[in-house]
């Protein structure tokens, strides 16, 4: 009796496609009295919820203009978001320099898309470039101070741009660090094991807010006089250290699900420790825990909003800041909806991508 | 102990002396001495829990042991990691549950170790792999994943995977006991062919027909000891020990 990891992620295709629409409705929505009742209740709730919302958010909404005087329709005042969009996206980054951010983002997307598609050669090279070279390029581009690019201090970075920077750095670094920690926690060497367990349990037990606060207030106390790393950098370090501990536990779950026979077969073939892990165990273990990994990514993405506590203004921070503008008092619903929608769009894309990835990595089974 | 081992001819492939192993208080292997010459086929049988798997797993150090020495093809197994990897390269192993890598295709399963351990080029490794897949009669499955194959096919892939490393010894740990009856033969046929080509084999199995056809020597283990070691004819027709007779009585019905 051996557990085959590939067997766990079975997606049963829906066979309802073959039924006619009416039959489909019957079997899925009205297959019994309780079923029918729930269906009707759900329809009723949708009926009383959706139309007024659409009325408010679209029909009666005001879209164009540049001051609150244009908001007269009684619906949502998207003018507020429109006027503030620049700040929501780029923070205090100078408007005439924003092309640098766009260029950096474009480069990132151009590198990421081929990595995410399946049948592309040289993925390893691209990934290495993305992890090692790209951050340098992006930093040089965003910060400037060379080639005649004016310097934009990191405290001017903000909005969605800051959210994405924090999330990408956190995601890209916490996975490898977390994997190393997970391997360390299962190591045969007691010293390494103890160190990894201590690290994981320590960081997992502390709220992220505390970590960020410490990174911002306490960390400088330990640094030598005159060496005062940037606030953004400190926040990044805090996020990565914190999320790695979570990621480690997710990956460890995957490692534990791999049957002993896989290790033994690899050893018996003469593969060394790192080869066994890199070629046999991790590809299977990580595939198993894709849902958990993406779950952590999504949590991380949303947790970046906490940098507000140390005075960095990410997307949500910028939106909230705008509520205090006397010119625009009373439009927080629109602001929160906008921020919520952006966060949702990113998180939902990650989720969809992970599902597609799981399907494409599924290596089939008999039955 | 018996002393029917043939007279030593040159260096043995496997030389086990005074092997003892404990799990805590429990002694799994007791004073095992075993010598396997090049090209010999040894079949090991015995009741469940007698230590058969443990014994052959000591040969490629999937298990550690507390006392004794094991020399494989002139290389002594020791704590030295370099030695260990050298031995594992020369010793192939086929498991009861196949243990194929489920995220890799059949072909990739076969080429992984030759490429990463033997440092062969991909092209060369693939050529060798297709050769061996042909020998175990499943070249057409090369691009499938293990999960898409039957048990018998998977076990033949596992044998091909071991052969791709060009090992000098093959260890089998009950290669057919996880298989449905109709698939046992296809695996045994492959093993018989290997034996005929002169591969040194140590095989834990209860397939007594196989033992009769190909074994040079059949070893019976009980409670961690080698109780009887004899040529198949003698072993089956005239076992010396009561326990062997009892075991054969049970297994041959
Ligand atoms: N990791 C372990 N810890 C403790 N005891 C073990 C361990 N592995 C095996 N044993 C014990 O050692 C004994 C020998 O086990 P082994 O697997 O070698 O038996 P076997 O002859 O191969 O049996 P089977 O025919 O069931 O495979 C058994 O009694 C088993 O319970
Ligand atoms: Mg066994």
Q: For the segment B65-75, what is each residue's pLDDT rounded down to a tens digit?
A: 999 999 998 88
Q: How far is A124 from chain B (nearest CA, A)?
A: 17
* Highest-confidence segment of A51-65, A99-113, A329-343, B151-165: B151-165
Which two tokens mark A226? 């005159």
Average pLDDT over residues B88-112: 94
Chain A residues inside the 8 Å CB shell of B88: 267-270
Chain B residues inside the 8 Å CB shell of A265: 93, 95, 99-101, 158
Q: How far is A192 from chain B (nearest CA, A)?
A: 19
Angle at A244 between CA A241 and CA A248, to 5 degrees: 145
The ligand with the least distance to the CA atom of B48 is 1
Q: List residues in chain A touching B: CB distance below 8 A.
A: 1-2, 4-7, 259, 261-262, 264-272, 275, 279-280, 283-284, 287, 361, 363-366
The predicted pLDDT at position A22 comes to 81
Chain A residues inside the 8 Å CB shell of B62: 264, 267-268
**Which one, of B112, B101, B151, lies nearest residue A271 by Cα?**
B112
Over chain B, what is the mean pLDDT? 91
The predicted pLDDT at position A1 comes to 40
Which residues, in sequence order, are CB contacts of A269 under 8 Å at separation 6+?
A: B88, B92, B112, B113, B117, B161, B162, B165
CB contact under 8 A, B117 and A268: no
CB contact under 8 A, B165 and A270: yes
Q: How far is B251 from chain A (nearest CA, A)?
A: 23
The predicted pLDDT at position A149 comes to 86
3-class SS string, B206-234: CCHHHHHHHCCEEEEEECCEEEEEECHHH
Average pLDDT over residues A166-179: 92
- Total residue length of chain B: 253
Which two tokens mark B64? 């550690």
Q: Does B93 touch chain A (CB under 8 A)?
A: yes
Is residue B112 over pLDDT 80?
Answer: yes
Which two tokens mark A277? 């892990």
Does B52 contact ligand 1 (Cβ within 6 A)?
Answer: yes
How far, in Å, from the CA of B174 to the mean position of ligand 2?
Answer: 7
pLDDT, one tens digit per residue, over A71-124 is 787 788 888 888 888 888 888 888 888 899 999 999 999 988 888 886 777 878
The predicted pLDDT at position A7 comes to 41
Indicate the pLDDT class of residue B97, thresholds 50, 70 and 90: very high
Average pLDDT over residues A26-37: 85
Atom of ligand 1 lying closest to residue B26 CA: 5
**C-alpha span between B56 and A147 (Å, rounded):** 67
Average pLDDT over residues A189-198: 95
Helix (H) or strand (E) holding A277: none
Q: Considering only alpha carbons, which residue of chain A is nearest residue B143?
A: A363
Over chain A, what is the mean pLDDT? 85
Percent of chain B with pLDDT over 70: 95
Is residue B79 over pLDDT 90?
Answer: no
**ipTM for the assembly:** 0.92
Does B48 contact ligand 1 (Cβ within 6 A)?
Answer: yes
Chain B residues inside the 8 Å CB shell of A287: 103
Does B205 contact ligand 1 (Cβ within 6 A)?
Answer: no
CB contact under 8 A, B116 and A275: yes
- Total residue length of chain A: 367
Cα A94 to chain center, whole Å? 26
Number of CB atoms found within 10 A of residue A135's CB: 15
Chain A residues inside the 8 Å CB shell of B169: none
**B227 phi/psi in degrees, rounded to 5:** -85, -40
Which residues, in sequence order, are CB contacts of B88 under 8 Å at separation 6+?
A: A267, A268, A269, A270, B60, B61
Q: How far is A283 from chain B (nearest CA, A)?
A: 7
Is residue A154 over pLDDT 60?
Answer: yes
Indicate the pLDDT class of residue B95, thresholds 50, 70 and 90: very high
**B67 phi/psi in degrees, rounded to 5:** -140, 150
Q: Considering only alpha carbons, which residue of chain B is nearest residue A271?
A: B117
pLDDT, one tens digit per residue, over B49-66 is 999 999 999 999 999 999
CB contact under 8 A, B85 and A275: no
A269, A273, A281, A365: best mutation site toward chain B, by most B Cβ within 10 Å? A269
Long-range CB pairs of A222-227, under 8 A, 24+ apart, other chains included: none
**C-alpha span between B197 and B240 (Å, rounded):** 31
């Amino acid at each position: 009796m051996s557990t085959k990891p590939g067997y766990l992620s079975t997606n049963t295709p829906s066979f309802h496609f073959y039924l006619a629409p009416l039959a489909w409705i019957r079997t899925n929505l009205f297959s019994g009295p309780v079923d029918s009742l729930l269906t009707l209740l759900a329809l009723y709730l949708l009926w009383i919820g959706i139309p007024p919302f659409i009325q408010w958010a679209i029909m009666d909404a005001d879209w164009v203009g540049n001051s609150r005087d244009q908001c007269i329709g009684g619906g949502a005042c998207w003018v507020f978001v429109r006027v503030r969009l620049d700040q929501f996206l780029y923070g205090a980054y100078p408007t005439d320099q924003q092309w640098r951010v766009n260029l950096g983002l474009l480069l990132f997307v151009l590198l990421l898309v081929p990595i995410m598609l399946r049948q592309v050669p040289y993925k390893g090279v691209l990934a290495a470039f993305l992890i090692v070279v790209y951050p340098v390029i992006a930093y040089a581009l965003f910060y400037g101070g060379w080639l005649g690019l004016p310097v934009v201090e990191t405290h001017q970075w903000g909005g969605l741009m800051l959210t994405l920077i924090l999330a990408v750095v956190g995601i890209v670094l916490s996975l490898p660090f977390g994997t190393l920690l997970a391997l360390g926690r299962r190591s045969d060497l007691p010293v390494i094991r103890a160190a990894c367990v201590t690290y994981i349990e320590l960081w997992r037990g502390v709220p992220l807010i505390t970590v960020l606060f410490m990174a911002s207030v306490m960390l400088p106390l330990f640094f030598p006089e005159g060496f005062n790393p940037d606030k953004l950098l400190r926040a990044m370090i805090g996020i990565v250290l914190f999320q790695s501990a979570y990621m480690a536990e997710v990956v460890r779950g995957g490692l534990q699900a791999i049957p002993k026979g896989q290790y033994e077969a690899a050893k018996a073939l003469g593969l060394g420790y790192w080869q066994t892990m890199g070629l046999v165990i991790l590809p299977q273990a990580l595939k198993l825990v894709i849902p958990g990994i993406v779950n952590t990514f999504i949590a991380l993405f949303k947790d970046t909003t906490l940098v507000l506590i140390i005075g960095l203004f990410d997307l949500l921070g910028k939106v909230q800041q705008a509520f205090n503008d006397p010119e625009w008092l009373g439009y927080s619903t629109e602001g929160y909806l906008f921020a919520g929608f952006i966060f949702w769009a990113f998180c939902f894309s990650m989720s969809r991508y992970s599902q597609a990835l799981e399907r494409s990595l599924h290596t089939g089974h008999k039955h | 102990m018996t002393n029917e081992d043939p007279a030593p001819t040159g260096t043995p492939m496997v030389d086990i002396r005074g092997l003892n192993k404990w799990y805590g208080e429990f002694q799994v292997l007791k004073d095992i001495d075993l010598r396997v010459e090049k090209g010999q086929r040894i079949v090991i049988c015995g009741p469940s829990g007698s230590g058969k798997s443990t014994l052959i797993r000591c040969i490629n150090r999937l298990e550690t042991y507390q006392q004794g020495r094991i020399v494989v093809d002139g290389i002594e197994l020791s704590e030295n990691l370099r030695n260990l990897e050298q031995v594992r390269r020369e010793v192939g192993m086929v498991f009861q549950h196949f243990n194929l890598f489920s995220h890799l295709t059949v072909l990739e399963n076969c080429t992984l170790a030759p490429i990463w351990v033997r440092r062969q080029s991909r092209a060369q490794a693939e050529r060798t792999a297709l050769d061996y897949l042909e020998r175990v009669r499943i070249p057409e499955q090369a691009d499938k994943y293990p999960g898409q194959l039957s048990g018998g096919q998977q076990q033949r892939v596992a044998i091909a995977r071991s052969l791709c490393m060009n090992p000098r010894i093959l260890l089998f740990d009950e290669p057919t006991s996880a298989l449905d009856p109709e698939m046992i033969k296809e695996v045994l046929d492959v093993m018989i062919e290997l034996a005929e080509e002169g591969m040194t084999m140590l095989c834990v199995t209860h397939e007594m027909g196989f033992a009769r056809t190909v074994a040079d020597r059949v070893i019976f283990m009980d409670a961690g000891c080698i109780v009887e070691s004899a040529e198949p004819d003698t072993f089956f027709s005239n076992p010396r020990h009561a326990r062997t007779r009892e075991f054969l009585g049970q297994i041959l019905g």
